[in-house]
Amino acid sequence: MRSILDRYAPAPAFDEFAAADGQPRDHYAPLAATLAGISSADFRHRVTTVNSVLLQRGVTFTVYADARGTERILPFDLIPRIISGAEWDVISRGVAQRVRALNAFLVDVYGDQRALREGIIPRELVFSSQHFEREAVGVRPPHDTYVHVSGIDLVRDADGTYLVLEDNCRTPSGISYVLENRDVLKRAFPRLFAGYDPLPVDDYPRRLRSALLASAPRNALEPTIAILTPGIYNSAYFEHTLLARRMGVELVEGSDLFVRDNVVYMKTTRGPARVDVIYRRVDDDYLDPLYFRGDSALGVAGIFDAYRAGNVTLANAVGTGVADDKAIYPYVPTFIRYYLGEEPILQNVPTFDCSDAAQRQHVLGRLDQLVVKRTAASGGYGMLMGPMSTATERADFADAIRANPRDFIAQPVVTLSAHPTVVDEGLAPRHIDLRPFALLHGDTVDVPPAALTRVALTAGSLVVNSSQGGGSKDTWVLAD
């Protein structure tokens, strides 16, 4: 029998599975033994089964570029990614530290602005951020918590060192894939779990609920939580329904809410019902047509007044996007030292700030070697992957950078670590990243062992975003 593992050749990058000598790393050894006994045909059969299960379950996302709003399943790769307990210890402590610093930065930016006065970060860089909300200055959210839920994207460089690629402090998504991937894999392919006892992921909704309850306004006795969704056409709608169901809270759309006397209510069959905590999956811009985009039909008129009056917790708070602006990102290690008095546990990827003339010149001279990102963008949209770009694309980016330098950063290409992934021919290395999620309330950060591994399914590709042809893997965090 030809096993699925037979022809696996490690990548010219940090290979998660195989060490330099080609042998499986210790924490992958039981999986390697299991895979050696599974044929390619058997594997393909499982893949078909899993895909139809995911479609039947409706674990789908909507592709914006597709005018028909087609629902697609996120490709799910059946080979699990495994993280040792020692690695996870570093990751979880590093992520928690980073989130505390990001929150402290937001408290400062919308409060005293001490770091700005002391020149820790240039004032104009903060105020020019597209996601800096002037209206939120001077508004203190309950418990000074801004970033209730965040997703910190990590990659591993050629040495296997974990680096922070970007912070997601607005409405990071992906946790539903973590929950569903584990559930589906356990049912479809229980054999793979032989020799492992990964930490469970399914208490994430409970932990999120606890964090949100702890963030309720102080005057709320029995807080009511609702999840605010942009609606069924949002790409992450499935996730919103899954979380609402598992958390046992209402899933509301903007039109289900109204504000009277600075209090937010849901329209129910038994009349208005007060809402205390809103886990909103709607961007700031669309939250309140009275303050932000007037044409927004997704938001609730007056909700910002209710927030300002301290009558409702918005998670995340208004204005958190300034903390995940890619031009602010280079300063996060500085924030960790400045606000926490600690040394960063996780390092940044070196980053060039195009608003700085010297760094801009450096970038413009090396566009073919760098990754250029728009500072306000996310989801892998609007990027230039230098080594794979055409001369025309580089020229367009050069013009755009010269016109609006503040809108761009550049980074050296990080050759992400690679992981065995199912392809037509068997298993092949594909590049992956890792998005752990962090839940913050007060000074407490909870980093559940429920992280999303995204995988670039195209050979050689370094772009893992689902909107750009990425898939996902079940991610096992081990206890030891």
Chain residues that interact with other proteins, rule: CB under 8 A: 55-58, 227, 232, 237-238, 240-242, 244-245, 250-253, 255-256, 258, 266-272
Q: Judged by CB, which is closer to other proteins: 248, or 442?
A: 248
How far apart, in whole angstroms, are the C-alpha atoms of residue 287 and residue 303? 8
Q: Which of 262, 352, 270 is nearest to 311 (CA)?
A: 262
Of 41 and 55, nearer to other proteins (C-beta) is: 55
Q: Which residues contact 209 (CB under 8 A, 6 or more apart)?
A: 225, 247, 248, 249
Helices 237-247, 175-188: inter-axial angle, 10-degree rounding: 80
Minimum separation from the CB atom of position 76 to other proteins (A): 17
**Residue 266 Cβ, how far from other proteins at the closest point, in Å?**
6
Residues 359 and 340: beta-carbon distance below 8 Å: no
- Closest contact distance (angstroms) between CB of 249 and other proteins is 8
In the complex, least distance from residue 280 CB atom to other proteins, rounded to whole angstroms? 15
Structure tokens at 39: 């044929």
First CA to last CA distance, the chain: 34
Beta strands in 121-249 (DSSP E): 149-156, 162-168, 225-228
- For the CB of residue 446, give the shortest distance to other proteins in the complex, in Å: 23
196 or 258: CB nearest other proteins: 258
CB of 261 to other proteins, least distance (A): 13
In terms of residues, how long is the chain?
A: 480
Q: Residue 335 to residues 14, 115, 139, 338: CA-CA distances in angstroms? A: 29, 9, 21, 5
Give the pair of three-digit tokens for residue 65: 């570029």
Helix H segments across 215-365? 237-247, 303-308, 332-335, 357-365
Q: Smallest gap, in angstroms, from Cβ of residue 277 to other proteins?
A: 16
452 near 91, Cβ under 8 Å?
A: no
Give CA–CA dist 273/301, Å, rounded: 17
**134/270 with CB nearer other proteins:** 270
Q: Which of 471, 424, 375 is nearest to 177 (CA)?
A: 471
Q: Least distance in Å: CB of 243 to other proteins?
A: 8
Cα dihedral 121→463→450→348 (10° resolution): -30
User: For other proteins, which is the closer residue by CB, 46 or 57?
Assistant: 57
7 vs 245, beta carbon nearer other proteins: 245
